[in-house]
């Protein structure tokens, strides 16, 4: 059965129902998301330096899980956060703290020159800046990070959604992460099917986050 693409609201509903109705924990969903994404990244880009760009929300939280699992696989991985880590909350803050306590290579950047310097030797850039919680034009360092990443020769991998794409309308920001591969969770998003978005997605890989099949079926997935 072809899995139906979901709207932002439907994806968030799956997330919330898995927690509220099935008793799953957000941290478990994030761990499944990050570990699954790290395994796809390892298969897709089996060598070189990996830079994970992290934002403020749970998309950024996925990035800290991804970095931890890639480090466990022996990869050379570095996290660049465009916000101070104490600005994170909930599951994202929990995973940022685990990464910091584990002495993973985490850099908080304050300007585009710092981003350019750190991104320079990346063979792979993973976009964990914004996911389904993005609203409006990219603000501040998010736009700079995307523009700088797009100028490199690195393989670009978007997590859940290429930053700059609106998951419902498919519209692309002036600065949209130009992905070679998009690793998306639970289901593809409605906006992926629209022309403006399709040029930024690259190949799409779907990663399960462990949500029960009964719940997915109720959403046509
Ligand atoms: N069930 C699932 O699919 C799971 C998904 N996961 C991941 O979680 C994200 C969604 O996380 P969320 O925290 O809701 O949203 P984001 O991470 O996309 O963004 C959050 C914050 O970013 C700021 N923001 C929003 N728009 C912009 C913008 N245009 N420019 C700059 N910053 C922006 C905003 O914070 P402010 O306080 O600054 O307004 C947002 O709060 C999903 O995509 C998956 O990756 C879970 O990991 C597992 C389950
Ligand atoms: K993203």
ipTM of predicted assembly, 2 dp = 0.96
Indicate the annotated binding residues for K(+).
59, 127, 163
Please give the distance, rounded to the nearest whole angstrom, from the Cα atom of residue 186 to the centre of ligand 2.
15
Dihedral sign of CA atoms 156, 151, 131, 87 in order = positive
Can you give the pLDDT of all 221 residues of the chain as single tens digits?
A: 567 899 999 999 999 999 999 999 999 999 999 999 999 999 999 899 999 999 999 999 999 999 999 999 999 999 999 999 999 999 999 999 999 999 999 999 999 999 999 999 899 999 999 999 999 999 989 999 999 999 999 999 999 999 999 999 999 999 999 999 999 999 999 999 998 999 999 999 999 999 999 999 998 88
Task: Write down the domain spans for the chain.
Answer: 8-210
Contact by Cβ (8 Å): 150, 156: yes
The finding on whether 188 has its CB within 6 A of some atom of ligand 1 is no
Please give the distance, rounded to the nearest whole angstrom, from the Cα atom of residue 82 to the centre of ligand 2.
13
Question: Side by side, which strands form the sheet with 76-81?
Answer: 105-108, 76-81, 49-54, 124-128, 155-159, 181-185, 203-207
Please give the distance, rounded to the nearest whole angstrom, from the Cα atom of residue 212 to the centre of ligand 2.
24
Q: Which CATH superfamily is domain 8-210 in?
A: YjeF N-terminal domain (3.40.50.10260)
């Amino acid at each position: 059965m072809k899995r139906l693409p979901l709207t932002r609201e439907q994806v968030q509903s799956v997330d919330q129902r898995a927690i509220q109705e099935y008793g799953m924990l957000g941290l478990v969903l994030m761990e499944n998301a990050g570990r699954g994404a790290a395994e796809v990244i390892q298969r897709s880009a089996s060598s070189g330096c990996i830079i994970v760009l992290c934002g403020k929300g749970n998309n950024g939280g996925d990035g800290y899980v991804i970095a931890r699992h890639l480090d466990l696989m022996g990869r050379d991985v570095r996290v660049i956060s465009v916000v101070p880590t104490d600005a994170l909350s909930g599951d994202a803050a929990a995973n940022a703290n685990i990464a910091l306590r584990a002495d993973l290579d985490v850099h908080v950047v304050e300007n585009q020159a710092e981003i350019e310097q750190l991104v320079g030797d990346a063979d792979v850039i993973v976009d964990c800046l914004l996911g389904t919680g993005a609203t409006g034009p990219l603000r501040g360092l998010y736009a700079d990070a995307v523009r700088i990443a797009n100028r490199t020769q690195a393989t670009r991998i978007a997590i859940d959604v290429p930053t700059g794409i609106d998951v419902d309308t498919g519209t692309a920001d002036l600065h949209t992460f130009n992905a070679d591969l998009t690793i998306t969770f639970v289901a593809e998003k409605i906006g992926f099917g629209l022309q403006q978005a399709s040029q930024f997605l690259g190949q799409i890989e779907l990663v399960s986050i462990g949500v029960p099949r009964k719940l997915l079926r109720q959403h046509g997935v």
